[in-house]
């Protein structure tokens, strides 16, 4: 009988446990006896065909020695239960496919907890395939993606990070869960930010096709901002522009004052009847050298440059807002060129934060995901810090979060990191 | 020959077969069970069983579990159509709009699964049986039950719940807090391996969630 010595040792062990009063921590003396018995046990294990339950018992003793905080009674019962019923199935006996099934019902935060349970669970829950599936599935639903949480950038640089790491770094749900920690660190910055916000206002430039395509007179983004029913944005005044450029609104958002300067490509009438965004566009103009070619169909970047007046307005800006209409039927590729022309300018400060508001008219409009916006606008290649924020013009959802990103210290801190 | 069997099994309804469990108990199974258990279905298609009175040996399953599975299949014989087909592993689109839920266990199933417990290990028994017999609905109920048990619990609670001994993975846990701190320090994707290792040092589990 190969098994007899082990059983003996186990019984011996249980005996020593039962002599001691329950619910108290192990003394040094106990530890000594435990060590002896466990050594005996381990030596008897060598050379013997080891079954899973025996390993489990040995593991239990090791744990007992390592973590003295575990009371003696607890481990004793652990051993007796495994002894009493050798045929009983333990949860660790379940095959991997069953585990994958179980874990498919859990969210990422729960999965992280499960990965700490034991070695086997760690292996299953950190499986790269599992996380890459999650990443593919969930990243379509994320409502905001920034340059620092862009899952696509990892593919671009062929990062050797695991999919799990990428998921946890990029998922807005996880980030939201951990913001409290950031806030406590940034407390000082927040305070100084608050004081600054009282005296100093930032210029934010808002432009983009979404400003115009979403303009039905009563429901444009700008009118919504002007008369915000939710009172998140307080209008403090209007700013007159120069030569039709640079007019805007002075807005207060959570004690932050900022000037929102809107740049339309054309005036209202022109907007209504034109086929191409680049004909009679006031933001960009054709570069003169190339005018001989004069092919309007080709919107290649080298042919256009930013209008000097627009350049003047942008020079003092502390943030850019690019508004697009992210309704599903629109092709996002069309929005790429205009953004690229502005962002590829030589004078552009590479640390100027860019907010992309992916707007839809109301919640029911089918929309392209934030990830699609990142993909189709080719944002991964952009040097500036950016954030894509899904928002809805009708109920203003998401808009304040986007502007808050531009105004808060966080985007400023990121800029510092970039430099 | 196999096709013949399939035909007889398809056309002679109601068909009954006998199965024997690990501990020698013999059960009659009918269409409801055969249709839901892919394993049995395949077995009947492949095996040449001319004599219906020879029990099919199911060496992996205890009698009590087999009985329970038969009861489950009898109850669920009519909702075969509602059970989705095989999980299509590559169909991301479908997945994207149907996140997997585990709060949709029906009342009957809840009562049914209550008779199996973690303490006696019977819950794992029935899951293993469902997995072996390939009964999708039963496997889903079992897995959902376990998922609901561990959801929102920390690792200590889970270890205690399932009586799992602690063996630290040691390779560096990618917990959110860990990765967030590395994100906050402004690192990018181009970390050297050394840096990465030092950053991924396993924090003690007690510290991680308290």
Give the pLDDT score at A406. Answer: 79
B55 near A CB under 8 A: no
For A255, half-sphere exposure in the C-beta direction (CA atoms, 13 angstrom radius) is 10
CB < 8 Å from A in window 158-177 of B: 158-159, 162-169, 171, 173-177
CA distance A137 to A108: 12
Give the pLDDT score at A4. Answer: 42
- Asked which of A124, A149, A179 is the last residue of a domain, the reply is A179
Query: Is the CB of A118 less than 8 angstroms away from the CB of B165?
Result: yes
Q: Is residue B6 over pLDDT 60? A: no
The alpha helices in B12-106, defined as continuous H runs, are 31-36, 38-46, 63-75, 92-97
A235 near B CB under 8 A: no
SS3 content of chain A, % helix, strand, coil (to 5): 50, 15, 35
Query: Is the CB of B176 less than 8 angstroms away from the CB of A112?
Result: yes
What CATH number corresponds to the domain at position A102? 1.20.1280.50
**Span A136-141, average pLDDT:** 82
Q: Is residue A379 over pLDDT 60? A: yes
| CATH tag for B2-155 (out of 3.30.710.10, 3.40.718.10, 3.30.420.40, 3.40.50.1980) | 3.30.710.10
The alpha-carbon gap from B14 to the nearest alpha carbon of chain A, in Å, equals 32
Lowest mean pLDDT among A171-180, A339-348, A366-375: A171-180
B207 near A CB under 8 A: no
A55 near B CB under 8 A: no
Give the pLDDT score at B81. Answer: 54
Q: Are A308 and A288 in contact (CB under 8 A)?
A: no
CA distance B113 to B143: 11
* B82-141 tens-digit pLDDT: 445 444 444 444 443 344 677 788 888 888 998 888 888 889 999 999 999 988 889 989
Query: Is the CB of A97 less than 8 angstroms away from the CB of B158?
Result: no
The alpha-carbon gap from B3 to the nearest alpha carbon of chain A, in Å, equals 31
Would you kindly state where each structural domain of chain B is located, as residue ranges?
2-155, 176-208
Q: Is the dihedral of CA B95, B100, B105, B109 positive or negative?
A: positive
Judgement on whether residues A228 and A276 belong to the same structural domain of the protein: yes
Query: Is the CB of B175 less than 8 angstroms away from the CB of A63?
Result: no
**Span A122-139, average pLDDT:** 85
* A238-262 tens-digit pLDDT: 777 666 666 778 887 777 777 888 7
Q: Which residue is closest to B143 within chain A, CA to CA?
A: A102
Rounded-to-10 torsion of CA A374, A379, A384, A390: -20
Q: Is the pTM of this model over 0.80?
A: no
Q: Which residues of A touch B138 (CB under 8 A)?
A: none
Top-ranked range on mean pLDDT: pick from A23-32, A42-51, A74-83: A23-32
Give the pLDDT score at B78. Answer: 78
CA distance A318 to A256: 13
Q: Is residue B185 over pLDDT 60? A: no
Query: Is the CB of A114 less than 8 angstroms away from the CB of B150?
Result: yes
Give the pLDDT score at A83. Answer: 38
Query: Is the CB of B164 less than 8 angstroms away from the CB of A117?
Result: yes
Give the pLDDT score at A84. Answer: 41
* A226-238 tens-digit pLDDT: 777 667 777 777 7
A110 near B CB under 8 A: yes
**How many structural domains comprise chain A?**
3
Q: Which residues of A touch B95 (CB under 8 A)?
A: 133, 137
- Asked which of A84, A113, A138 is the last residue of a domain, the reply is A84
Judgement on whether residues A102 and A244 belong to the same structural domain of the protein: no
**Residue B202 tokens, joined:** 């396993």
ipTM: 0.70
Judgement on whether residues A163 and A312 belong to the same structural domain of the protein: no
Name which of A78, A95, A98, A105 to mutate to probe chain B: the one with the most chain B Cβ atoms within 10 A of its Cβ.
Answer: A105
Q: Is residue A271 over pLDDT 60? A: no
Judgement on whether residues A76 and A159 belong to the same structural domain of the protein: no
**Span A348-373, average pLDDT:** 82
Give the pLDDT score at A266. Answer: 58
* A327-336 tens-digit pLDDT: 887 777 777 8
Host H or E run for residue A256 = strand A256-263
Q: Which residue is closest to A116 within chain B, CA to CA?
A: B155
Q: Which residues of B touch A153 (CB under 8 A)?
A: 189
For residue B176, what pLDDT band results from cuts at 50, 70 and 90?
A: very low
Give percent of chain A with pLDDT exceeding 90: 0
A351 near B CB under 8 A: no
Q: Are A205 and A349 in contact (CB under 8 A)?
A: no
CA distance B149 to B113: 13
The shortest CB-CB distance from B131 to any of A98, A137, A165 is to A98
**Residue A87 tokens, joined:** 């045929």
Three-class HEC string of B115-156: CCCCCCCHHHHHHHHHHHHCEHHHHHHHHHHHHHHHCCCCHH
Give percent of chain B with pLDDT exceeding 90: 9
Q: Is residue B199 over pLDDT 70? A: no
The alpha-carbon gap from A391 to the nearest alpha carbon of chain B, in Å, equals 20
Host H or E run for residue A325 = strand A319-325
Range of the domain at A48: 4-84
For residue B168, what pLDDT band results from cuts at 50, 70 and 90?
A: low
CA distance A221 to A212: 9
Give the pLDDT score at B52. Answer: 62
Query: Is the CB of B165 less than 8 angstroms away from the CB of A178?
Result: no
Look at the block and give the residue holding tokens 């008219």: A361
Q: Are A377 and A336 in contact (CB under 8 A)?
A: yes
Specify if A152 maps to a domain: yes
Lowest mean pLDDT among A44-53, A189-198, A373-382, A397-406: A44-53
Give the pLDDT score at B68. Answer: 92
* Mean pLDDT over the full length of chain A: 67
Q: Are A351 and A418 in contact (CB under 8 A)?
A: yes
Give the pLDDT score at A65. Answer: 41
Q: Which residues of B touch A137 (CB under 8 A)?
A: 92, 95-96, 99
Chain A / chain B CB contacts < 8 angstroms: 152
* Mean pLDDT over the full length of chain B: 70
For residue A194, what pLDDT band results from cuts at 50, 70 and 90?
A: low
Residue that wins the pLDDT comparison between A240 and B75: B75
Give the pLDDT score at A77. Answer: 38
State how beta strands A284-286 and A304-306 pair.
antiparallel
Provide DSSP, A46-103. Answer: TTSPPPHHHHHHHHHHHHHHH-TTS-HHHHHHHHHHHHH-TTPPPGGGS-HHHHHHHH
For residue A216, what pLDDT band results from cuts at 50, 70 and 90?
A: low
The shortest CB-CB distance from B177 to any of A118, A133, A178 is to A178
Judgement on whether residues A173 and A194 belong to the same structural domain of the protein: no
For residue A273, what pLDDT band results from cuts at 50, 70 and 90?
A: low
CB < 8 Å from B in window 149-168 of A: 149, 153-154, 157, 159, 161-162, 164-165, 168
Query: Is the CB of A117 less than 8 angstroms away from the CB of B189?
Result: no
Specify if A89 maps to a domain: no
The alpha-carbon gap from A25 to the nearest alpha carbon of chain B, in Å, equals 18
Q: Is residue A10 over pLDDT 50? A: no
- Asked which of A114, A147, A179 is the last residue of a domain, the reply is A179
Q: Which residue is closest to A55 within chain B, CA to CA?
A: B165
Specify if A272 maps to a domain: yes
Judgement on whether residues A163 and A204 belong to the same structural domain of the protein: no
Query: Is the CB of B147 less than 8 angstroms away from the CB of A103?
Result: yes
A191 near B CB under 8 A: no
Query: Is the CB of A91 less than 8 angstroms away from the CB of B118?
Result: yes
Lowest mean pLDDT among A198-207, B16-25, B198-207: B198-207
Q: Is residue A36 over pLDDT 70? A: no
Top-ranked range on mean pLDDT: pick from A35-44, A50-59, A117-126, B196-205: A117-126
Query: Is the CB of B209 less than 8 angstroms away from the CB of A113?
Result: yes
Judgement on whether residues A289 and A320 belong to the same structural domain of the protein: yes
Give the pLDDT score at A207. Answer: 81
CA distance A47 to A396: 71
Lowest mean pLDDT among B19-33, B57-71, B141-155, B160-174: B160-174
**Span A29-48, average pLDDT:** 48
Query: Is the CB of B168 less than 8 angstroms away from the CB of A113?
Result: no
Q: Is residue B26 over pLDDT 50? A: yes
The alpha-carbon gap from B51 to the nearest alpha carbon of chain A, in Å, equals 33
Judgement on whether residues A295 and A200 belong to the same structural domain of the protein: yes
Query: Is the CB of A154 less than 8 angstroms away from the CB of B189?
Result: yes
For residue B3, what pLDDT band results from cuts at 50, 70 and 90?
A: very low
Lowest mean pLDDT among A72-76, A143-147, B126-130: A72-76
């Amino acid at each position: 009988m190969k098994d007899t010595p082990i059983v003996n040792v186990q019984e011996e062990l249980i005996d020593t446990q039962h002599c001691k009063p329950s619910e108290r921590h192990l003394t040094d003396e106990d530890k000594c006896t435990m060590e002896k018995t466990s050594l005996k046990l381990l030596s008897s294990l060598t050379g013997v065909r080891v079954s899973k339950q025996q390993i489990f018992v040995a593991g239990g003793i090791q744990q007992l020695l390592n973590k003295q905080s575990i009371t003696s009674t607890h481990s004793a019962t652990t051993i007796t239960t495994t002894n009493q019923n050798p045929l009983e199935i333990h949860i660790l006996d379940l095959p991997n496919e069953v585990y994958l099934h179980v874990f498919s019902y859990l969210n990422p935060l729960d999965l992280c907890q499960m990965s700490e349970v034991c070695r086997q669970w760690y292996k299953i829950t950190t499986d790269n395939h599992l996380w890459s599936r999650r990443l593919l599935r969930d990243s379509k639903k994320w409502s905001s993606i920034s340059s620092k949480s862009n899952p696509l950038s990892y593919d671009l640089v062929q990062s050797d990070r695991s999919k799990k790491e990428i998921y946890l770094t990029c998922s807005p749900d996880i980030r939201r869960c951990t913001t409290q920690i950031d806030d406590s660190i940034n407390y000082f910055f927040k305070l100084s930010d608050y004081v600054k916000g009282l005296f100093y206002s930032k210029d934010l430039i808002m432009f983009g096709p979404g400003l115009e395509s979403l303009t039905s007179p009563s429901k444009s983004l700008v009118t919504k901002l002007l008369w915000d029913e939710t009172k998140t944005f307080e209008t403090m005044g209007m700013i007159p522009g120069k030569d039709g450029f640079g007019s805007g609104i002075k807005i207060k958002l959570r004690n932050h004052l900022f000037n929102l300067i809107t740049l339309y490509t054309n005036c209202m009438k022109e907007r209504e009847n034109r086929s191409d965004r680049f004909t009679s566009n006031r933001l960009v103009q054709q570069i003169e050298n190339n005018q001989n070619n004069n092919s309007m169909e080709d919107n290649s970047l080298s042919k256009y440059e930013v209008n000097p007046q627009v350049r003047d307005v942008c020079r003092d800006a502390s943030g850019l807002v690019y508004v697009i209409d992210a309704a599903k039927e629109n092709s996002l590729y069309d929005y790429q060129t205009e953004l690229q022309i502005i962002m590829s300018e030589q004078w552009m400060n590479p640390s100027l934060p860019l907010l992309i508001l992916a707007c839809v008219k109301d919640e029911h409009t089918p929309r392209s995901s934030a990830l699609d916006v990142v993909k189709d606008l080719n944002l991964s290649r952009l040097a500036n810090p950016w954030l894509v924020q899904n928002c809805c013009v009708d109920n203003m959802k998401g808009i304040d979060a986007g502007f808050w990103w531009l105004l808060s210290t966080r985007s400023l801190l990121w800029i510092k990191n970039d430099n | 020959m196999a096709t013949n069997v399939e035909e007889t099994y398809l056309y002679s309804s109601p068909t009954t077969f006998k199965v024997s469990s690990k501990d020698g108990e013999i059960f009659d199974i009918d269409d409801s069970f055969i249709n839901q258990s892919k394993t049995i279905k395949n077995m009947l298609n492949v095996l040449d069983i001319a004599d219906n009175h020879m029990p099919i040996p199911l060496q992996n399953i205890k009698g009590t579990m087999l009985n329970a599975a038969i009861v489950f299949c009898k109850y669920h014989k009519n909702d075969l159509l509602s059970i989705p087909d095989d999980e299509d592993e590559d169909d991301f689109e479908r997945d994207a709009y149907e996140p997997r839920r585990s709060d949709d266990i029906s009342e009957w199933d809840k009562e049914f699964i209550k008779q199996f417990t973690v303490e006696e290990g019977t819950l794992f028994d029935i899951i293993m049986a469902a997995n072996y017999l390939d009964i999708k609905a039963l496997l889903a109920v079992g897995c959902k039950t376990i998922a609901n048990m561990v959801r929102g619990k920390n690792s200590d609670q889970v270890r205690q719940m399932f009586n799992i001994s602690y063996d630290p993975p040691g390779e560096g846990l990618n917990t959110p807090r860990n990765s967030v701190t590395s994100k906050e320090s402004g690192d990018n994707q181009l970390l050297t391996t050394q840096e990465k290792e030092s950053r991924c040092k396993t924090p003690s589990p007690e510290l991680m969630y308290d």
